[in-house]
Structure 1
Amino acid sequence: MRRIAPAALLACLVVLSLVSRARTAEPPLVPPDVARQAASAGSVRVIVRVNAPFVPEHFLGSAAAALGQRQLISSVQSAVTAGLRGVDHRVTHQFDSTLPLLALEASPDALRILDSMRGLVLDVQEDKVRRPMLADSVPLINGNDAWNAGFDGTGTIVAILDTGVDSSHPFLKAAGVSKVIREACFSSTFSGVSTSVCPGGASSSTASGSAAPCALPGCDHGTHVAGIAAGGTTGVLGSGVAPGAKIIAIQVFSSFGGSPASFDSDQIAGLNYLFNHRNDFPGLKLAAVNMSLGGDAFSTFCDSEPQKPAIDQLRAVGVATAIASGNDGFISAISAPGCISSAISVGSTTKMDDVSFFSNVAPFLGLFAPGGSATGGTADILSSVPGGVFGRKAGTSMATPHVAGAFAVLRQAAPTATVDQLLAALQDTGKPIADVLSTRPRIDVFAALGQVSSPDLVVQTLAAPPTALSGANVSVTTSVKNAGLGGAGATTLRLYLSTDNVITTGDTLLKEIPIPALVGGASKAQTVTVIIPPGTTAGPYFIGAFVNPTGAVTESNPDNNTKAVAFKVIQPDLTVTALSSATTAQTTRPLTISSKVWNRGTAPAGPFRLSFYMAQGDDTPGAGTPVVFKDLTGLAVNANVSVTSTFTIPANFSAGTYFLSARVDSAGAVTESDENNNGVLASNQVTVTLYRPEVTITALRGPLFGKIGKTISVTSAVRNAGPAPAGTFKIHFFLSSGSSDPGAGIEIGTRSVSSLAVGANVSAATTLTIPGNAGLTEGNYYLSAVADSPASGELDPTNNGLTAASQIALTLLRPDLAVTAATVTPALASPGFTVKVSNTIKNAGDVATAAPVLVNFYLSPTPTLTGGEPVIGNRSIATPLLVGGTSSAVTPLTIPRTTAPGPYFIVVVANDDHAVVEYPGPNNVKATGPVNVQLPNLQVVSIAPAPVAIRGKGVTGAPMAAVVVKNVGSGPALPFDVRVFANRDDGTPGAQIPGAGDLMFNKSVVTSIAPNGSVSLTGPIHVEEIVDGNVRLAGNYFVSAIADPALNNVDPDGANNQFTETVKKVAILPDMKKLKNTAVDLTLDPSACGVSVLNLRGPFNITNQTLANPSTFSGTVTLDDQLGSGFHQVYTVSGTVRALDLGTGIAGKVVSSFTYTATINNAFASNGRGNINGAAPGLNFNGGSIAGQDSSGTCTFSGSIDVTR
């Protein structure tokens, strides 16, 4: 056997555990109730099952293999204990590493570590406590007959794992020598729970006296059990079951507060001790172990209990472990560890062969044995108790040693038999005892002995029908008897077909029948069906029976094992008498064949097959392709049977004409009298056409542009033009730069079509990736698609491809400039009007831009540019646009003045100069919503000028001029000026034409006026004094106004931009203060001043003038005599000036008048000159005397001033 390094195995186990744990959530290794006990008490005793390979060492084949297994177990045990270093624990048993177990006292921390050792640890169980199972019964099980036959267990050993055995008891001696040949003790001290009863309180001992009964109530139990199993003949009538057997006594109980009980681990230690020391006694063979103890009950086998590996070890070397079933009275459960499948569980019966009321029973109970009635009298079991006396007890504890002793008796009789064989003998020969739910055998030792002795098997009876067909089923009845005294093990019975009545294994085997084990005198009858071999020729034969043909059972007489009966084979004759079908068919479609078969022979036909064939060019029946068959169960003599068979014409048939034929018994199952008349040819031929789909690509369309390394969407349509639906198939897509053939180039993806009905045309879009690692370069590529042929085939598999009409222009990764937003405000404009376009440019490509991006704005009557549209503005994006980056702006744009009214769109075009190499496509262009371009129409509605103006001066206070202008057009008006003019009415051409007069008001409108909007302008007026080098004439003037004289707006009606009042609204007066150098001629009133004419001239100096019409003024005037008299005088003057309407031929437009009063001028007093009013009375201007004139009177002068200019 190949050895495996323990460390390597350990590593593998850990890895496998980790993998398993990753797959599914598993329950904890430490049961929650065990963890709670530890948490409550501080520690708990547990048995750890480690993950090491274990096979009972007997089955390993060699001592080296056994040593290797022990080393593996030891390595895993060491790994577990190493993992527990540093936490509170104690190893109580390591079981010599023969078993994959560890017994520990474990703290809560130790349990947590054990729970994490999945891979090293398979499970952790509580080291449970078991109690003793507490009944002259040997004649009841016919043990005395066995003794009389010479079998009393001599040469065997029975081991008693119990509360100790009184080795000095007379009942346990033979010829004065104790039958106890070895003692051992395994007992535990567990703080606060239990105390060891081994000598000196040790946990184990193998010294003499180690298994003496413990000094506790109930410790007489082991001595009583030992007496039942192997007690001698001293002191009582009779003896134990195996009085010739020796005893190994092992104490496995501990003191639990003064009561005896046993830990599982101590029991395992005792079992392991027996396995390791079983060969220490030459001439003696360990036959059985008795364990009259138990605990928890189970309704099925409890192979997870920790004692199982130790029990398996012993059973493998021929040692039976008999364990009490328990005293709970359960009818469907057995106590542990008796419920372990490899243990021999023992229930109790009374001496009346009833199930004891206390006994646990289950369908898987091994055996019953006498255990008493628990009534305290003779109904209970009498046996030895410590102190050399006897006592009666009852319980499954008393039943179990009956079985242990029985195994010792049987082992003496059959030294090489297995435990299975000895158990079978006890079970097969035992008396059935019925309980509530199950019936199990109560042991009969003598009967079992008979089974393990030599048997003699004979064929007692054999019957078969006198005739049968070859290939027919024949019912044969036979019985086998064990004519010997010993039981026969299981064997076989063979039935043969022979040409004579001497049956040998060389004859034709018909059937082999299993024969169960038979006790002496028992029989086994059964009826079976055999088949007469097909092809067997007619004639006389024998059917023979041969029991134990291979010698599996050693018999006392092997020459009486056969028997034969006469038999005859008869034959049928099958032929096809009719065959027809439809004359046309399609591949993969059904065709029905009608036929008739006749058995013209003298024997019925057994099962046979009728087969049908189709062939092209060969009319031999059975030629060509087998297309269908029909299995028939048989046909009576001279019987006919009509057969209708429907099959599918194979898909691989080619179109054409086929012969249809049939053969009966095509498999040769029936032996017939004439084998040459089994075939027939149909009268009609069958014309086969193909029933297949026809898959074609009917449409293929891809994008015009694609990016290498990116996806494209391809739309394809596929049609089934054939007569049959298509199953699942795929469409493959290709790109080729040089060939337009479908399928040329590289494949870039597929589309799956699950099915396609007849005539169906299915279109779908498929997303495909243009590979970036296939060596593709920029350029134009053909896109093609090729459909697979469906699994069913198709009519023409050569027309499955199509190349798209348009090539795909593949490019490397580039930017892709897209106008993602374009809106215009306002939506109403006029020629020359400025609108604002909010626009966003995004790089939707795969790399950043390197060059500036030019964005142009076009004015277009449609959202789409057709050519010739004007560019009305632009902007530049100087900063590179990253992938996904955007540039947003609000761009002002002026509507051209030449734009005709109507709806327009601002079309935004990114990268209009193509400076950036980008992906082609229409996303560079986007139009705003419509902007309605309409014309304004300015109209001067009213003028309210100031009523008076003095030329050369502005009007700074109220009243001032006011003009109202309204936009009566459909479009907004641009900013414009308003001018107000004074128009004279002096007969000159254009006197009343607006704007033909003199400007006296100019006001700017700085904002737009919406349609139907108006503006009122108020401001001072100013009349220029000098116009074209001439002084403006004074007088009353008409007023006119003009809106937008610079024609900023495209106005369809210029006439209503002007307005003239129909009456003269403003008086323009001269500035009297500017007349100081004006010469004024005065005429003196002669009546007042005594002279007729006085010519005086002098300048005015006006210091005050009112803004009114008429206007008053005041000031001084200096008068000098123009005749040379030397007169010079300053006078105070006041007067008025008034503007007049002009008539035809009148030069002036204003009149003025004034008065003045003379004052004395002393410079001329001496001669009176300069004194017009009487400084020198009686003197005139010439110095002459004026008669009758009072020179002291006042002379008032009045006159007018010519202010025409």
Structure 2
Amino acid sequence: MNDPYWLANGGNGDYTIGMIIDSADDVFESDEINNSNQGELIDRDTLVINGTTLADLVGTSANVVLEPQLAGNVFDFDYSISNIGGSSTGGNYTVSFYLSDNDLISPLDQFLGSTTLSNLAAGASTGLLRSQLTLPGVNDAYWLANGGNGDYTIGMIIDSANVVLESDETNNSNQGELIDRDTLAISGTTAADLVGTSANVVQEPLTAGATFDFDYILSNIGGAPTGQPIKVSFYLSSNTTISSSDYFLGDATIANFPANASTTTLSQQLSLPPAGDPFWSGDGTYTIGMIVDSDDVVAEVSESNNSNLGNLIDQDSVLITGTQKADLVSTVSDVIFEPQNAGNTFSFEFEINNLGGLASGAFDVSFYLSTNDIISSADQFLGTATLGSVTANGSTGLLTVDLTLPGINDPFWQGDGTYFVGMLIDPNNAVDESNETNNSNTGFLLDYDDVIINNTSQLGQRGSDDFLGTDAADFFQGLRGDDDILGFGGDDELRGGRGDDFVIGGTGSDIVNGNRGDDLLIGVDLDNALNVNGDQIDILIGGFGDDAFILGDTTQSYYNSTSSTDYAVIADYTAGEDVIMLHGSAGNYSLGTPSVGLPGTGIFQGNELIAVVQGDTSGLSLTGAAFEYI
């Protein structure tokens, strides 16, 4: 192929193959002119011959436009290609570019890119072409494998896909310097690259002001040492992004760091800002992290990976409490009306301030009655108020709570005189406070007030006594005489004693005990028509004598509500002595078994339980002598 004969005779086409007989004229013949050219298929044959010429592509110039180069650079590569063959390429072909650590270009070298060129005619040249190529970046594995900075060769392989049939397939590359390759110096192939690879707050969770250990590991993933010591700075952030504008905790200096090396586990002792520091935004999750090479003294492959690579890599999220605590203290304490009597319900004004920097959340305030000016939970409990959250440095404003003193003859009393009403703020310690010692006993009229309390006791005499109870739970003992006892409010215990007594429990679940004598016993409050059918369970005890248990009057039945906890218990009915008085007639009632789980006989008005009769009930009949109707 590409023989000069073919090139001189037009290449492919019709050719004749023939013979010349006695071509050396060794034989003397009668006719010397008929030794050849006597005719087709006689001494010659004409045929078509193809494949006489092929393309042959070679590089004719190669140049890296700017030298030397740096790793990662984008650069221009100028080149030209000629077809020295006798035929065109017949179509497009590819030119591939490679980077080599020697002066021989092969497909095993570092591929830089390729371009597609169009059909190139026989004997033609591309002219000067330019392709833009990119070198591997700093610390690329290629550089590390080939020794870093130094001389490298950039060259091309023409028709790298072998799509063009050429007369010479060996001259598509490696024909010479500046012909199809160019050798140049490349630097900046390796550099240090400093990153954090482990970060851990050793003690978690933390409290504001705590001193703690921060363990960490650094790595130089670059191909060059740092060449000098580096600084690592530690910061506290309210979010997951560490920056030099965060709260500075301290720094450490690390000696010259070799390439592709890591430190051992290092530990730095750091201290959090104290509670109340302006940095804190409240208890919660914060981030403690580091910035490697915080002074930027080392030129690195990447300056963006010195921080914020991830949790437990170069930072650690940690729960921090005690940063801003509430501090609840009372500033007003006042019994509105003075003096008071035992059993009274009275108004107590108070105001609570939050001196701390964090909202308190809901909390309770418990109120106590004390015999001295030291209020504690061992004193007489009066009640609790539940308050909503008080904002930081805020106040509840003036509040009022209604409290009830212990009833007359309550064991708490030590006689009439001066007592103290005070409060315990957050008695259950639901609020984490900066000062837990100022929730009580800070001062007179601040969280307690003194008050004179009278009528703390009322004792029965030998004669006939009148006892009037209070809103609280009262205890009365009538002793002798025909006593009138009214419990009024509260869960009272009332004892008539000897004599024919009239004992009324009033509101509340009372124990009404006639004791001796012929007594009249009523469990409800006769002055409150609504309350006679209130939610109360009264125990009526006649004791000795002919007693009357009054369960209704001329206008209504008592305990006739829909509540299952509204009935009387006649604890000691004695047949032949006692009488049960009901409103209406026998036809309005029925006897049965109570559903409340108590022994005895139930008195029902319709489906409503009025009373449970205990004692001698075997012969109990609504039409018998045991009942009277009003």
TM-score, structure 2 normalization: 0.35
Structure with the larger helix share: 1
Q: Determine which structure has greater relative contact order: mean sequence separation of CA pairs < 8 Å that are 6+ residues apart, divided by chain length.
A: 2
TM-score, normalized by length of structure 1?
Answer: 0.21
Give the number of the structure whose alpha-carbon radius of gyration is greater: 1
